[in-house]
């Protein structure tokens, strides 16, 4: 466990090697990148076993594995470069390393022949290294550094095909939008540090729990922290970058959505949740409400989107909102469980979508369809992913969603619970629609469908490997499963905030949610089966709503308007100020003044002796007169 | 008015006249001659002040060496063609500054109350001056002679010109 | 009895005339002559103070001696410089020697 720092260090080293020697390596070094992330994945197991042993040995006093080096040291200001392993970290580690490994194997085939093939794998390595560092960081400053590293890599990868204007725009949008949140994150970190005098997460939590912070101050600080999560995890109102991020290569989307980018916000909030709890209740309410708004908004937008990847992107927003609702209900268990299974089924969905795009070179669901017979493996695994997302028993998504619903029911008001249930219905609806339009019934574009075929093993094997945890991953909630694997119990006894909890099956909630989900699926089936007549009729009948959804609630337009009118307006004023006041008056003015002084005054230097002598004489006379007038006694 | 005063005013008039002649004469040779007049009148003033030694030195150094030097310099720097104006463009300012200085210093002098008896000229014995020069002021005296030698050597080197000139 | 102020006023008048000459004249030799006038004014001042106020130490007399020595040195050097100026530029006018201007 002490050597956990190796987990991010190996991909980081791989990145450096690829950056320098990549073009000279055989196959441009893709094997090196995969080997590095594979090593990280393998290294995860000893860390896990160590941790489980430590927990079993001494559960009460357990504080996690720590390893740190001195990083910056001044008198009174010390930062350690530290790594910290505990249960939450472990969950993240397995998701990140496993999904990243799958995605990279998949990419070998998907990215084959790309002119920047080697660069792609180099950045993938850096991406994984950044995320693993973020997960393992024991202090907020290191976490922030890794956080920015993740953002930077996502910028590079979303804009990987930067020749395409939309890709470059999307990369810029993602970068700038998340940056807005990051500023808040940094402010929050500084606020926490100011009072506690340390960046160490555990010490800050300890400080906060002992009431070291003023309540209002702490609330403001955690809300700033949450701003970072909003940006990174694409929560309303900073969600606009996530759908656009689909411009990147599909494996990148899978990685960003499932493992390395958006869950960072959830992880950070989960990690800092004791601080949120210590703050005023408003903080958690904000988390809940924004999560809920995101859930409902993204679910409805998912109904109208036609790009296969965008639909899945909305489902990610949906899931992330779910996790934040769980966190708002003070349940690390539910949030991390959802994150855990979400990582698998969401990457499965994306990689499945990638397989479809790879086979047909189309991504608009209105041009797809009828692929089930041509691509059986993709279809089946995609169906499993959809089932997990919808929450069909016994797929993994069901258990996680059930957990979220349970904590929402017990911690939040009935209204919020009802809204979450509605979102479950809509989720089922649009996921069904996506599946039907993509894989079933008559192909809309017969030519593309005729040429579609299953990809090679490098494409299908990761799908199958990801399908396994998608199906069984949820079973970790059971105490008996956990005990069989050597854990003290189920997921609830492994990851918890206040008290470890034995798993309890809430039949009422399970029935309710299953009924809602099935209703959604059935409705979707009725609406979009065959030629989707019902859906077309409904859309035509409610065209304003459809427009509203397909225009994404006009939020992007509002932002664009704001940028055009407010930001650019202010920019105009600032640029005028810079040009006229700073440049013309300040810089040019002082330069002109000294030029004028130098040029004009130099003519008084005639070089003629009598002039200088006159100056001396005048000086003497003036001094003499002054002495006389003021009667100075020498 | 005592006869001393009569002599003083006469000599003072000669000094002023000579000085004015130096600064206003059109011909440079005339200026030099006026300078001799002024210098000799100053020597007379020194005698009035009972400083005979200085009067002799004045006549010897100024009346002899300096004046001859100046006359030589004039001869060597004679511009034969068109006689350029002797005064510079800043003449009015020069006059203004000089008058202002004269008024200022005159006011300063007349308004000052000097310590001790300010109306009796003490006779300073010739030999006491030489005693002081070679005892109390011996080191400065030697240094002054060194300065003189260095300056004159420098003057020779400057005036002789470079090789091939 | 000649009051001390007579000598002092004469000295300042002589100094002013010398100053005027230095400032107004163009020819280097004339300027030198005016400088000599100023030095004479200074000498008169020194000797006056020595004779009236300082008969024991008569520092002023000694100073006047040094003034004459320095004046002799100065005249020698300055005239050498004027000579060089004339040889290089065919003029003895100081306002034509303005190589040091801007």
pLDDT < 70 positions in chain A:
1-2, 58-67, 444-445, 448-450, 452, 486, 488, 498-500, 532, 632-634
User: B101–A610: do the CB atoms touch at under 8 Å?
Assistant: no
**pLDDT, position A377:** 82
Contact C20, B94 (CB under 8 A): yes
d(CA A345, CA A396) in angstroms, rounded, equals 8
Q: Band the pLDDT of B84: cuts 50, 70, 90.
A: low
Cβ <8 Å between C98 and A617: no
Convert the pLDDT of each residue in A436-463 to its tens digit: 888 877 776 677 666 767 777 777 888 8
Chain B: nearest CA to C100, how far in angstroms? 18
Question: How many angstroms separate the CA of residue B60 from the nearest CA in chain A?
Answer: 30
For residue A527, whether the previous peptide bond is cis, meaning omega lies within 30 degrees of 0, is no
Helical ranges in A86-197 per DSSP H: 87-110, 117-136, 140-158, 165-196
Whether C52 contacts B122, CB under 8 Å: yes
Residues 34-93 of B with CB under 8 A from C: 35, 38-39, 42, 45-46, 48-51, 53-54, 57-58, 61-62, 65-66, 69-70, 72-74, 76-77, 79, 84-91, 93
Phi, then psi, of A66 in degrees rounded to 5: -125, 140
Residue B37 pLDDT: 92
Look at residue B85 in the predicted model and tell me its pLDDT. 64
Nearest to B90 among A610, A620, A628 (CB): A610
Which residues in chain B have Cβ-Cβ distances shorter than 8 Å to A611?
A: 90
Give C13-65 pLDDT, tens digit per residue. Answer: 999 999 999 988 888 888 889 999 999 999 999 999 888 888 888 888 999 99
CB contact under 8 A, B98 and A617: yes
Q: Is some CB atom of chain B closer than 8 A to the CB atom of A622?
A: no
Q: Which of C71, C8, C87 is nearest to C34 (CA)?
A: C71
The gap between the terminal CA atoms of chain C, to the nearest Å, is 55
Nearest to A357 by CA among A253, A461, A265, A480: A253
Residue A611 C-alpha, separation from nearest chain C C-alpha, in angstroms: 8
Which of B90, B101, B108 minimises the CB distance to A611? B90
The verdict on a CB contact (< 8 Å) between C30 and B22 is yes
User: What does the DSSP assignment read for A555-570?
Assistant: HHHHHHHIIIIIIHHH
| Closest approach of B37 to chain C, Cα-based (Å) | 11
CB contact under 8 A, C80 and B31: no
Within an 8 Å CB–CB cutoff, is residue B144 touching chain C?
yes
Check: CB of residue C8 under 8 Å from CB of residue C48: yes
Can you give A56-91 as a three-state secondary structure string?
HHCCCCCCCEEEEEEEEEECCEEEEEEEEECHHHHH
**Does pLDDT of B17 surpass 80?**
yes
Contacts of B93 in chain C (CB under 8 A): 23
pLDDT tier, C12 (very low <50, low <70, confident <90, very high otherwise): very high
> Which residue among B90, B101, B108 sits closest to A620, beta carbon to beta carbon?
B101
* Cα separation, C80 vs B154, whole angstroms: 8
- A626 and chain B: CB distance < 8 Å anywhere? no
Higher pLDDT, C80 or A52: C80
pTM above 0.90, yes or no: no
Chain A from 201 to 230: CB within 8 A of any B CB: none
What does the pLDDT read at residue A283? 84
The residue among A366, A511, A497 whose CA lies nearest residue A444 is A366
Torsion of CA B117, B120, B126, B127, to 10 degrees: -40
B93 part of contact set with chain A, CB < 8 Å: yes
pLDDT of the residue at C52? 87
Check if the interface score ipTM surpasses 0.85: yes
Strand partners, B87: C25
- The whole-angstrom separation of Cα A144 and Cα A79 is 13
> Are A114 and A105 in contact, with CB atoms under 8 Å apart?
no
Q: Which residues of B touch C3 (CB under 8 A)?
A: 118-119
Using the Cβ of B95 and the Cβ atoms of chain A, whether some distance falls under 8 Å is answered with: no
Q: C102: distance to nearest CA of chain B, Å?
A: 19
pLDDT band of residue B163 (cuts 50, 70, 90) is low
**How distant, in Å, are the alpha carbons of A1, A395, A589, B39, B63 from that of B43?**
109, 129, 62, 6, 9
Neighbours of A538 (CB within 10 A): 14
Preceding peptide of B122 cis, ω within 30°: no
Give the 3-state secondary structure of B40-87: HHHHHHHHHCCCHHHHHHHHHHHHHHHHHHHHHHHHHCCCCCCCCCCE
How far is it, in rounded angstroms, from Cα A192 to Cα A200? 10
- Taking contacts as CB-CB distances below 8 angstroms, the residues of chain A near C101 are 605-608
Query: Would an 8 Å CB–CB cutoff place A625 in contact with chain B?
Result: yes
DSSP A1-65: -GGGGHHHHHHHHHHHHHHHHGGGSGGGGHHHHHHHHHHHHHHHHHHHHHHHHHHHH-STT---E
Q: How far is it, in rounded angstroms, from Cα A135 to Cα A146?
A: 9
B138 or A555, which is more confident?
Answer: B138
Q: Identify the H or E element spanning B159.
A: helix B138-160
DSSP label at A584? I
SS3 (DSSP) at A316: helix
Give me the mean pLDDT over the B51-57 stretch: 88
A368: left (phi over 0), alpha (psi -120 to 50) or beta: beta
> What average pLDDT does the structure give for chain B?
85
Q: Whose CA is closest to B49, among A217, A4, B41?
A: B41
- Contacts with C, A 563-602, CB within 8 Å: 602
Beta bridge partners of A65: A85
- Give the pLDDT score at A376: 80
């Amino acid at each position: 466990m002490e050597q956990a720092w190796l987990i991010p260090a190996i991909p980081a080293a791989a990145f450096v090697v690829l950056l320098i020697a990549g073009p000279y390596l055989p196959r441009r070094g893709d094997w090196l990148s995969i080997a590095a992330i594979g090593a990280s994945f393998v290294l995860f197991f000893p860390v896990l076993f160590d941790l489980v042993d430590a927990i079993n040995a001494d559960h009460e006093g357990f504080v996690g594995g720590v390893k740190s080096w001195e990083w910056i040291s001044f008198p009174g200001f010390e930062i350690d470069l530290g790594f910290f392993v505990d249960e939450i970290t472990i969950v993240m580690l397995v998701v990140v390393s496993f999904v990243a490994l799958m995605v990279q194997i998949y990419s070998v085939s998907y990215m084959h022949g790309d002119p920047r093939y080697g660069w792609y794998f180099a950045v993938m390595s850096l991406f994984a290294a950044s995320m693993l560092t973020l997960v393992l960081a024991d202090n907020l400053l290191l976490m922030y550094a890794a956080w920015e590293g993740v953002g930077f890599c996502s910028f590079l990868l979303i804009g990987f095909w930067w020749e395409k204007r939309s890709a470059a725009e999307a990369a810029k949008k993602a970068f700038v939008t998340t940056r807005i949140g990051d500023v808040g994150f940094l402010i929050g970190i500084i606020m926490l540090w100011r009072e506690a005098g340390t960046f160490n997460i555990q010490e800050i939590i300890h400080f906060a729990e002992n009431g070291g912070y003023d309540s209002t101050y702490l609330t403001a600080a955690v809300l700033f922290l949450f701003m970072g999560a909003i940006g990174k995890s694409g929560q309303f109102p900073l969600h606009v970058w996530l759908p656009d991020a689909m411009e990147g290569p599909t494996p990148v989307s899978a990685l960003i959505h499932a493992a390395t980018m958006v869950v960072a916000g959830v992880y950070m909030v989960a990690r800092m949740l004791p601080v949120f709890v210590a703050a005023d209740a408003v903080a958690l309410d904000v988390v809940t409400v924004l999560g809920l708004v995101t859930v409902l908004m993204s679910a409805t937008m998912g109904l109208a989107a036609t790009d296969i990847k965008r639909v899945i992107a909305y489902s990610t927003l949906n899931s992330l909102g779910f996790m934040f609702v769980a966190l708002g209900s003070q349940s690390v268990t539910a949030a991390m469980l959802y994150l855990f299974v979400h990582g698998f089924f969401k990457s499965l969905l994306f990689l499945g979508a990638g397989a479809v795009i790879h086979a047909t070179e189309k991504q608009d669901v209105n041009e797809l369809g009828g692929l089930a017979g041509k691509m059986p493996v993709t279809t089946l695994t995609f169906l499993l992913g959809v089932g997990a997302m919808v929450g069909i028993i016994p797929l993994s998504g069901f258990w996680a969603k059930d957990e979220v619903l349970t904590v929402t029911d017990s911690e939040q008001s009935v209204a919020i619970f009802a809204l979450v249930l509605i979102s479950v219905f809509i989720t089922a609806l649009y996921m069904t629609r996506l599946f039907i339009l993509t894989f079933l019934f008559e192909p809309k574009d017969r030519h593309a469908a005729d040429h579609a075929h299953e990809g090679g093993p490098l494409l299908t094997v990761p799908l199958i490997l990801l399908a396994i945890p998608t199906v069984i991953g949820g079973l970790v909630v059971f105490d008996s499963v956990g005990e069989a694997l050597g854990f003290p119990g189920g997921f609830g006894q492994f990851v918890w905030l206040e008290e470890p909890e034995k798993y309890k099956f809430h039949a009422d909630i399970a029935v309710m949610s299953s009924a809602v989900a099935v209703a959604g699926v059935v409705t979707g089936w009725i609406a979009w089966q065959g030629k989707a007549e019902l859906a077309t009729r409904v859309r035509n009948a409610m065209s304003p709503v459809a427009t509203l959804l397909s225009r994404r609630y006009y939020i992007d337009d509002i932002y664009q308007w704001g940028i055009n009118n407010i930001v650019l307006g202010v920019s105009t004023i600032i640029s005028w100020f810079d040009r006229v006041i700073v440049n013309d008056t300040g810089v040019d003015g002082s330069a002109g003044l000294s030029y004028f002084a130098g040029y004009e005054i130099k003519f008084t230097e005639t070089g003629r002796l009598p002039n200088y002598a006159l100056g001396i004489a005048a000086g003497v006379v003036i001094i003499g007169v002054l002495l006389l007038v003021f009667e100075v006694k020498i | 008015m005592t006869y001393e005063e009569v002599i003083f005013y006469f000599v003072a008039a000669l000094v002023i006249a000579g000085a004015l002649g130096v600064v206003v004469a059109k011909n440079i040779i005339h200026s030099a001659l006026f300078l001799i007049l002024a210098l000799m009148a100053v020597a007379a003033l020194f005698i009035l002040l009972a400083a005979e030694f200085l009067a002799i030195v004045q006549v010897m150094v100024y009346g002899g060496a300096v004046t001859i030097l100046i006359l030589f310099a004039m001869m060597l720097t004679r511009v034969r063609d068109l006689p350029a104006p002797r005064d510079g463009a800043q003449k009015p300012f020069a006059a203004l500054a000089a008058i202002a200085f004269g008024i200022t210093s005159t006011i300063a002098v007349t308004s000052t109350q000097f310590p001790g008896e300010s109306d009796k000229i003490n006779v300073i014995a010739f030999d006491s001056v030489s005693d002081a020069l070679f005892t109390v002021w011996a080191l400065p005296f030697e240094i002054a002679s060194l300065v003189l030698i260095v300056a004159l050597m420098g003057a020779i080197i400057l005036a002789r010109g470079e090789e091939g000139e | 009895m000649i009051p001390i102020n007579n000598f002092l006023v004469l000295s300042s008048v002589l100094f002013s005339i010398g100053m005027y000459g230095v400032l107004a004249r163009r020819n280097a030799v004339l300027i030198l002559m005016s400088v000599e006038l100023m030095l004479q004014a200074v000498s008169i001042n020194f000797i006056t103070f020595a004779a009236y106020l300082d008969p024991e130490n008569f520092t002023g007399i000694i100073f006047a001696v040094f003034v004459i020595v320095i004046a002799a040195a100065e005249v020698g050097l300055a005239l050498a410089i004027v000579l060089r100026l004339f040889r290089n530029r065919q003029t003895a006018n100081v306002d034509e020697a303005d190589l040091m201007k801007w």
